[in-house]
Structures are given as C-alpha cells and as structure tokens.
Chain A
Amino acid sequence: MVKIIKSFVLFTFLVLPSLVSSSNFETKLVTWSDLRKLNYKTGEMPESIRKLMGKPIKIPGFAVPLEGDDGFEYVKEFLLVPTFGACIHVPPPPPNQVIHVILDKSVHFEKLMYAVWVSGIVEIGEYFIEGSNDFGQQTYDTETTYLIRGQKVEEYD
C-alpha cells in the first residue's frame, strides 16, 4: 500500500509537471502585438511566432461573422480583430491583425456580440494571389495570414 502511494506521489511530481510544461499541452496566451511581428508580405517571422505554428493559443478579440451553420443564428466562421466596429479614420487592420477562425462547433451569435476569448490551434498559411501588373504581365503575390482552428469561444471578462 505504501508503495503505491509513493509511486503516485512520484508520478505527480515528476511526470505531471513535465506534461504541463511541454508546449504541446499548454495553451499559450498571445497578444495582438505579438502577431504584428509576422511580415505578411514576405512571410518572414521571428522565432517567437514560428514557434506558435500548430500549437494551441488563446487570444482575445472581437468577432466579425462570416459564415453561419445553416444560417447566421449559429456562427461557424468569423474573423477575429482587435477592435470593435469599423473605424473609418484609418485603413482597416492589416492581414497580420486579422485571424480567420473556423470553429469545429458553431456558437450562438449572441455570444459573439461582445469581446471573446478564442482558443484553438493556430496555423500560419501562405498563399498565392494571381494577378497582372500594369503591363499585362502575370504576377504572383504571396501573402501570409493567420488561421485558428477554433476549439473554444468564451466570454471575455
């Protein structure tokens, strides 16, 4: 009996802390100024941002609904931005200040009317924009943006 207790104690002190500190299980709190460090034109990013890829993060913001789940009563996809409402004095937020969130389970729209915490796996994706310049030549721009596969939306308080 004593042995069992001992081994249990060992487990809690040695194994659990290592589980918690291993970044795979930790939801990292990220701020909007962290996200600005991504150069969305060149795709360059500091190590602090690169480390986030594929990891669970948590970030507060305001949701702008994009796509509902059979209508807009329940929202499945939204854009997360740091400010509420469109400020018409300055240009809209640059691509590195907008996160495209796709939830695995839709939430009621009333939950998204105020500030929320969103947690989920962050992905940083690069994609090509095909276009043509003024001389009619084909051009390819790349842009790097954030996407969160959302798992949880909570009220911000």
Chain B
Amino acid sequence: MINLFVRSLWNRRSTAVLTIFSISISVTLLLGVENIRQGVRGSFSSAVSGTDIIVGARGGSLQLLLYSIFRIGNAPNNLSWESYIEFNNDKRVKWTIPISLGDSHRGFRVLGTNQNYFKYFRYGSKKKLGFSKGKSFSKLFDAVIGSEVARNLNYQLNEDIIIAHGTGNKSFLKHDDRPFKVVGILRPTGTPVDQTVHVSLEGITAMHIDWESGAPPMEGESLSSEDILKRDLKSEEITSFLIGLKSKIHVFSLQREINTYKEEPLSAIMPGVALQELWNILRTAETGLRVISWFVLFTGLLGMLTALLSGLNERRREMAILRSVGAGPSTISFLLIFEAVFLTFTGILFGLCFLYITLFVSRPLLETYFGLFLPINPPSFKDLFLLGGIILAAMFMGVIPAFKAYRQSLVDGMTIRL
C-alpha cells in the first residue's frame, strides 16, 4: 500500500513539491520569528549584569541604556569629571566604571574606561571579562579589543590601529597622528563588548588634544605622540558611568540623589527596569509578527487542502480502480489522510532544515551589523509541541478530502461515465 501511495504521489509530484515547499516556508517563518524574539531578548538582557545604576547626562532612560550598554545611538551630552568623582566617592558606592564614547575604529565603537572595567564589569549571569590574548592597557596608547573586532579585522597583538573621529563606518577625519597599539584581546562574550575597542580615559583625552576647535590640528601644528606622553593628562568629562552598590537597598535613594543633583542635570537608571520598559515596547511588535506567521501557516495548510481537493477530481479513476480491486473505504480514507500528514511532515522537516541553514548563514551577519547574537538551539519542547499540533491539524484537514473521496468513489463505482 505504501508503494501505491508513493507512486500515486510521484504522479502528482509538482503539486506535492509545491505544497511541501509552502508548508516548509511557513514553518520556517513561525519558528524563525520565535527564535529571533528570544535572540533579541537574550542578547539585550545578557549584556549587563551586576550593575545597579547607570548614570548619564539628562535624557530618557532607554536612550541611556542603549548608548551606554549596547552602543546604539549617541549620548545627548557628556557629564563632568567632578560629578563622576562626587558619586564615585559616595559611601554607598562599592565600585564605578567610567565610560567615554564617541569615536570609532572602522565601524567598531571605541570606549574609554579604566581598570575597573576589567575588574567589575559583568555580563550574562555575573560572568567576568577575560583575556584570550595579552593583557589590559597600561600605557596611554594601548588598546584592548573585543573578540569580534579581532576576528573581523583579523587583528593580532601589537597591531597599530588608527581611531576615527565620530562613529560612522567611514570617517574623513582620523586621529592618524596618534596610533594605538593592541595589547589585549578579550574572550568572546556574546555581548556588545565583543565589538568594542577599549582604551584608557587618558587615551581618549590624548587623541583629542589640539582638537579644541572641533577640527583636527593644522599640519605641522599637532603635537607628536612623544610630546603628549610627557603631558599630565586628565579626563575632563565622560559619557556615562556604571555603579555597583554595597547594599542594593540604597538603589532608590542614590538614584533619586543623582536625578536631583543640583550641580549638573543627570539621569540615573536601573538596568533591569529600563530593560523591562524595552520589552514592553517590543512586545507589540512581537505579537504582530507572531500573528502574521500564524496566518502564513494557516495559508500553507489551506493551500494543501486545496491541492488535495482539486486533485481528487483528477484521481477519480484512480479511486474507482482502487475500489474495484477491493480497497475498502477505510483504505481510501487512510491513503488521503496519510498523504496530508506526509506532505506536512516533509514540509516541517524541510522547514527545519531551511531554518537552521538560514540561522547559520545569517548569524555572523547579524552579529557584525546589528550586534545580535542568535542562539542556535535544537527545537525546544514548545517548538516540538507546536509542530505536533500542525501535524494534527493536517490530519484533520485530511479528513475532508478523505470523506469526499469515499463518497465520490462510491458514486463513480456505480455509474459508468467514461
């Protein structure tokens, strides 16, 4: 009987292939949307851990979170070094990490910070940053690069890099008179750290010496790297800073103090709260995507039903012959239901293959261009449950043509109209 089924299907192979194809695309879409949703959430929320408060210039909480942690968008303003020191010395504060942004190296953001970054910064579930090669910066023109920067630009230790002014992919104003040297490469973290070039705060100041007019120094007027090394460099402003507290209970009081700080308008946010705000905004879009993918799946299944039903007319003779050689109504029904299930099942298999191929191909691209890290997991229990549901739905849909074929074959068998 399987033989019979295979041959019958082979006879109608173009319809069958198209049906399988449409189902596989809808399955890819359905699971892909879910995968991307989890990937987006995961990569956003694993980027920061153990930080109680993020402080930046006065602005929206989401904006502050996005530029300070995810390097998306820009800061409205810097904050003064004095304010930073003021809160750094607060007795409730255990540690702070200063962050200075605004420049880039071939599309990768440059972040100025100090040793606290490597000591206190945490990601994922309180994981510490580690070096795969080299060590932290100690000299003025030292740089530590993230794993993705190293991989993408194929950088090794001791490479000289030139930092561009501004954050574009290409820049026409470069700090090329003051090259930095790669002294360390960080281990992959799956967070925006991988795509960041880290230098010291003093390094950021150093490369902007003579830029007071907003443009690079005129030829012959710029100080050489050697001259700068002799100077006593101090940071005058930073973009934002992260705070870790001794006791979490003080989060609210310190946050309010920073928000109402008289000397300078500042904003303080709690990363967890800001992330939840972000989820709330994203949720609408996620629901929309999910509804669309359900409709696509529904269309795919309907397409299969249409193909089966219209195929029945062409298969009148086939059915009549089957009946005449003694196939019972149950055999006919079984054949048709089995066909629906077979088509759907093959569609799902192809859909899964297609999904994983797409994920593997698009992952490096998404990582490089959007900083998104999609985890490639085998289908979860929930996914399998969903796929089982789709097969079940296909089975029920198969009942309709099965019933029709049964009626038809009976009628066709009785009246000879050939």
Chain A interface (Cβ < 8 Å from any Cβ of B) = 64-73, 75, 77-79, 81, 86, 88, 91-93, 95, 98, 100, 109, 113, 127, 129-132, 141, 143, 145
CB distance from A92 to the nearest CB of B (A): 3
**A70 pairs with B46, CB closer than 8 A:** yes
**A73 pairs with B45, CB closer than 8 A:** yes
In the complex, which residues of chain B have a beta carbon less than 8 angstroms from the beta carbon of A66? 52, 248, 251, 270, 272
**A143 pairs with B50, CB closer than 8 A:** no
Residue of A nearest to B260 (CB): A88
* Interface set, chain B 152-211, CB cutoff 8 A to A: none
Chain B interface (Cβ < 8 Å from any Cβ of A) = 41-42, 44-46, 49-50, 52, 91-92, 124-126, 246-253, 255-256, 270-273, 275-276, 279
Please indicate which of the listed interface residues A71, A81, A131, A143 has the most CB atoms of chain B within 10 Å of its own CB. A71
In the complex, which residues of chain B have a beta carbon less than 8 angstroms from the beta carbon of A75? 272
In the complex, which residues of chain B have a beta carbon less than 8 angstroms from the beta carbon of A88? 256
Residue of B nearest to A90 (CB): B256
CB distance from B96 to the nearest CB of A (A): 15
* Interchain Cβ contacts under 8 Å between A and B, 6 examples: A66-B251, A67-B272, A71-B46, A93-B252, A129-B91, A143-B249
In the complex, which residues of chain A have a beta carbon less than 8 angstroms from the beta carbon of B249? 79, 95, 98, 100, 143, 145
**A70 pairs with B124, CB closer than 8 A:** yes
CB contact between B247 and one of A65, A77, A145 (< 8 Å): that residue = A145
CB contact between A100 and one of B42, B248, B271 (< 8 Å): that residue = B248
**A64 pairs with B256, CB closer than 8 A:** no
Residue of B nearest to A92 (CB): B252
The 6 closest A-B pairs by CB, nearest first: A131-B91, A71-B45, A65-B272, A92-B252, A72-B45, A70-B125
**A109 pairs with B276, CB closer than 8 A:** yes
Residue of A nearest to B279 (CB): A109
Residue of B nearest to A96 (CB): B249
A145 to B247, alpha carbons, bound, how many Å?
9
A38 to B265, alpha carbons, bound, how many Å?
34
In the complex, which residues of chain A have a beta carbon less than 8 angstroms from the beta carbon of B248? 66, 77, 79, 100
CB distance from A36 to the nearest CB of B (A): 14
**B253 pairs with A92, CB closer than 8 A:** yes
Please indicate which of the listed interface residues A64, A72, A81, A92 has the most CB atoms of chain B within 10 Å of its own CB. A72
Known contacts A64-B273, A66-B52, A66-B270; A92/B45 CB under 8 A: no
In the complex, which residues of chain B have a beta carbon less than 8 angstroms from the beta carbon of A68? 45, 49, 125, 272
Residue of A nearest to B275 (CB): A72
**B91 pairs with A130, CB closer than 8 A:** yes
A70 to B251, alpha carbons, bound, how many Å?
21
A92 to B271, alpha carbons, bound, how many Å?
18
A125 to B120, alpha carbons, bound, how many Å?
25
**A141 pairs with B45, CB closer than 8 A:** no
CB distance from A35 to the nearest CB of B (A): 12
CB distance from A63 to the nearest CB of B (A): 10
CB distance from B21 to the nearest CB of A (A): 34
CB distance from B116 to the nearest CB of A (A): 18
CB distance from B257 to the nearest CB of A (A): 9
In the complex, which residues of chain B have a beta carbon less than 8 angstroms from the beta carbon of A113? 276
A93 to B251, alpha carbons, bound, how many Å?
10
**A64 pairs with B270, CB closer than 8 A:** yes
In the complex, which residues of chain A have a beta carbon less than 8 angstroms from the beta carbon of B42? 71, 73
CB distance from B39 to the nearest CB of A (A): 11
A75 to B279, alpha carbons, bound, how many Å?
14
Other A-B pairs, 19, CB within 8 Å; known A72-B271, A77-B248, A91-B253 = A64-B273, A65-B275, A66-B272, A67-B50, A68-B45, A70-B125, A71-B42, A71-B45, A71-B125, A72-B45, A72-B272, A72-B275, A92-B253, A95-B253, A129-B246, A129-B247, A141-B91, A143-B247, A143-B249
A10 to B253, alpha carbons, bound, how many Å?
55
CB distance from B290 to the nearest CB of A (A): 15
In the complex, which residues of chain A have a beta carbon less than 8 angstroms from the beta carbon of B52? 66
CB distance from B193 to the nearest CB of A (A): 15
In the complex, which residues of chain B have a beta carbon less than 8 angstroms from the beta carbon of A78? 272
In the complex, which residues of chain A have a beta carbon less than 8 angstroms from the beta carbon of B45? 68, 71-73
A70 to B189, alpha carbons, bound, how many Å?
12
CB contact between A92 and one of B46, B124, B247, B255 (< 8 Å): that residue = B255
A132 to B91, alpha carbons, bound, how many Å?
8
